[in-house]
């Protein structure tokens, strides 16, 4: 059977595309997903995401190559491998970034992607519980709501941040991103509203949409410089699907990997990996960016943290009421801060407050009760790469984020740690803050903090940029998201972002897919 659209990857962007493109009954749409259905119960119970970061049943569980400036560590990079992709395993924070993020895209070659161009697609995607407004949409597939449950310590964090001189904002996605507040979340009636729940599930009964799970695409089929289909493995067999348009929506790791496996990318590197060169496109796999994150952990003098939570009782309460701690996204409050080393008036640091100990993606359990402030640099200067290790499509690619390779990134990460300590030192936290666990009392100087960062900082799960859109020689797609120099092949996911946005990347990824689908 031939299809009008073949979408590779049922993550945040792929689910949007499957819904929007199949709205036209004349379009025959195939959606291929390497992972399985989103049936895991912890996907849909918001607090359950803490159990999914290391679950290989729904997660690619990638590791980077040794990162030179991070003491040569191989760093853990979880990414969703399930319907909904990372929107099914993330912390559900709904953030769009800053107006200037998108204006800078347009100014640097991605015409049509300025803030005023993209805002309508954020609005059309959204069903905000407060209804429609200048900055929010109503009636869209993606439910955005305020948290049904917050820990009292999250309110203390907000109070302490204000004491430390940071303004209170009422909407990170409104006219003033800078400040401190509770996060809004992609939840519906106390349950996670992933892209699979919001977009894909309502479309799955359409006769013109076919969804295949556990189907890993291995290469794009090319006829000269035109994409004519894909090859994939399903149920232990090699299969092919043919179609008029092939759309890669596999994310910042898998989309460039699949292009290179198909002979599309930097010719010398393709030849080195044993791949025949179909189209020399030097930008494929370049321009990798991510938010590096450092955690400050302190003991809590009160047992109100989530560390001692009775999970059985919380689960029972949630089952009957959709409320209580199990309805929390854990990262309940946060802040966007313009540091003293900011290069413009945009926030350059983002904070997530956790009313519990959280170390090494939750893989290291610490005794007692604690609190954690995550702090990440929003616009790092480091640029990494995705490379093939071999021509075997089932071999994970080489991920090199090149964290801390730039002086600015080192300076801003030190600032991240100092700001976190400053907030914990405020009067509002006095009744609660005990001894510091990390960085630890021995870390006093900038040099001490930088060494701690090299040893302990981790991804906050926002890789982008490896198939960037633009008009320069390193652009992989043009502003219409067509693959440069090829026909019938598109990339629509976070990999096309030229630069990181100032915040979480899920909402912008959904916007990108909405905008592309509207032009088809």
pLDDT digits (tens, 9 = 90+) for 177-228: 999 999 999 999 999 999 999 999 999 999 999 999 999 999 999 999 999 9
The whole-number pLDDT of residue 432 equals 98
The phi and psi torsions of 139 (rounded to 5 degrees) equal 90, 0
Please write the tens of the pLDDT for every residue from 105-114: 999 999 999 9
Q: Partners of 351 in the beta sheet? A: 335, 375
N-terminal to C-terminal alpha carbon distance within the chain: 21
CA 499 to chain centre: 13
User: 153 near 115, Cβ under 8 Å?
Assistant: no
The helix/strand count (H/E) of the chain reads as: 13, 24
Nearest Cα residue to 338 out of 13, 100, 116: 100
Decide if 149 contacts 327 (C-beta within 8 A). Answer: yes
Q: How far is CA 430 from CA 299, 356, 424, 434, in A?
A: 12, 17, 8, 9
Q: What are phi and psi of 289, to 5 degrees?
A: -130, 150
pLDDT digits (tens, 9 = 90+) for 424-469: 999 999 999 999 999 999 999 999 999 999 999 999 999 999 999 9
**pLDDT confidence band for 55 (50 / 70 / 90):** confident
Q: How confident is the model at residue 344 (pLDDT cuts 50, 70, 90)?
A: confident
Which pLDDT belongs to residue 50?
87
Task: Answer whether residue 511 shows pLDDT above 80.
Answer: yes
Catalytic pick among 98, 166, 279, 462:
462
pLDDT exceeds 90 at position 102: yes
pLDDT at 488 over 80: yes
d(CA 138, CA 43): 24
Least confident of 30-44, 47-61, 139-153, 217-231: 47-61
Say whether pLDDT at 14 is over 90.
yes
Q: What is the CATH architecture assignment of 1-37+78-143+192-285+463-520?
A: 3-Layer(bba) Sandwich (3.50)
**Residue 319 CB neighbours (<10 A):** 11
Q: What is the pLDDT of residues 305-333, one digit of tens each?
A: 999 999 999 999 999 999 999 999 999 99
By the 8 A CB rule, do 235 and 229 touch? no
Residue environment code for 230-244, b if the CB has 16+ CB neighbours within 10 A, otherwise e? bbbbbeeeeeebebb
- From the list 463, 450, 451, 371, the residue with the least C-alpha distance to 416 is 450
Neighbours of 473 (CB within 10 A): 9
| pLDDT tens digits, one per residue of 375-412 | 999 999 999 999 999 999 999 999 999 999 999 999 99
Residue 53 pLDDT class (50, 70, 90 cuts):
confident
| φ, ψ at 98 (rounded to 5°) | -105, 150
Query: What share of the chain has pLDDT > 90, as a percent?
Result: 96
Q: Give the model's pLDDT for residue 345.
A: 76
Q: Please state, in angstroms and rounded to a whole number, the distance separating the CA atoms of residues 493 and 473.
A: 20
Confidence of residue 254 (pLDDT cuts 50, 70, 90): very high
Q: Which pTM does this prediction carry? A: 0.97
- Does residue 462 have an active-site annotation? yes
**Mean model confidence pLDDT for the chain:** 96
Domain spans of the chain? 1-37+78-143+192-285+463-520
Helix (H) / strand (E) containing 424:
helix 407-424
Sign of CA dihedral 481, 482, 488, 489: negative
Residue whose structure tokens are 């075997």 = 392
pLDDT at res. 340: 79
Please, are residues 430 and 406 in contact by the beta-carbon 8 Å criterion?
no
pLDDT at 51: 86
Q: Mean of the pLDDT values across residues 61-77?
A: 98
Please give the DSSP secondary-structure letter assigned to residue 393: T
């Amino acid at each position: 059977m031939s299809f009008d659209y073949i979408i590779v990857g049922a993550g945040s962007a792929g689910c949007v595309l499957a819904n929007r493109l199949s709205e036209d009954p004349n379009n025959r749409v195939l959606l291929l997903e390497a992972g399985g259905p989103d049936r895991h119960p912890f996907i849909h119970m918001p607090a359950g995401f803490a159990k999914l970061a290391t679950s290989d049943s729904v997660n690619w569980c990638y590791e980077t190559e040794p990162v030179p400036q991070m003491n040569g560590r191989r760093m853990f990079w979880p990414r969703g491998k399930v319907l909904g992709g990372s929107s099914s395993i993330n912390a559900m924070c709904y953030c769009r970034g800053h107006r200037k993020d998108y204006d800078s895209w347009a100014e640097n070659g991605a015409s049509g992607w300025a803030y005023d161009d993209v805002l309508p697609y954020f609005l059309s995607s959204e069903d905000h519980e407060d209804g429609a407004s200048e900055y929010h949409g109503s009636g869209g597939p993606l439910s955005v709501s305020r948290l049904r449950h917050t820990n009292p310590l999250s309110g203390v964090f907000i109070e302490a941040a204000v004491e430390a001189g940071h303004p209170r904002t009422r909407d990170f996605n409104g006219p003033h991103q800078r400040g401190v507040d509770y996060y809004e979340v992609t939840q519906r009636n106390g349950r996670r509203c992933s892209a699979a729940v919001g977009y894909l599930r309502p479309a799955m009964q359409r006769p013109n949409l076919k969804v295949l799970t556990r189907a890993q695409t291995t290469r794009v089929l090319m006829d000269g410089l035109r994409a004519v289909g894909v090859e994939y493995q399903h149920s232990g067999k090699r299969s092919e699907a043919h179609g008029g348009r092939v759309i890669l929506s596999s994310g910042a790791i898998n989309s460039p990997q699949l292009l290179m496996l198909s002979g599309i990318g930097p010719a010398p590197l393709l030849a080195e990996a044993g791949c025949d060169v179909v189209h020399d496109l030097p930008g494929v796999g370049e321009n990798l960016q991510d938010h590096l994150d450092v955690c400050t952990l302190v003991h809590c003098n009160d047992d109100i943290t989530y560390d001692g939570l009775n999970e059985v009782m919380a689960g029972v309460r949630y089952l009957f009421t959709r409320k209580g701690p199990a309805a929390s996204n854990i990262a309940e409050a946060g802040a966007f801060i313009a540091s003293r080393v900011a290069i413009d008036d945009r926030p350059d640091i983002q904070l997530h407050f956790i009313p519990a100990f959280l170390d090494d993606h939750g893989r290291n359990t610490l005794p007692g009760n604690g609190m954690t402030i995550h702090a990440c640099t929003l616009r790092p200067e480091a640029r990494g790469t995705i490379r093939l290790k071999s021509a075997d499509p089932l071999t994970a690619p080489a991920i090199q984020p090149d964290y801390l390779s730039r002086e600015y990134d080192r300076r801003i990460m030190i600032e991240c740690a100092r700001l976190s300590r400053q907030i914990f030192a405020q009067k509002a936290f006095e009744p609660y803050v005990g001894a510091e666990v990390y960085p630890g009392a021995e870390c006093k100087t900038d040099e001490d903090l930088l060494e701690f960062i090299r040893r302990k900082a981790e991804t906050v799960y926002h890789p982008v940029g490896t198939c960037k859109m633009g008009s320069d020689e390193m652009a992989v797609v043009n502003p219409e998201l067509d693959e440069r120099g090829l026909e019938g092949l598109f990339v629509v996911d976070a990999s096309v972002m030229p630069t990181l946005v100032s915040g979480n990347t899920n909402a912008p990824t959904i916007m990108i897919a909405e905008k592309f689908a509207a032009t088809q």
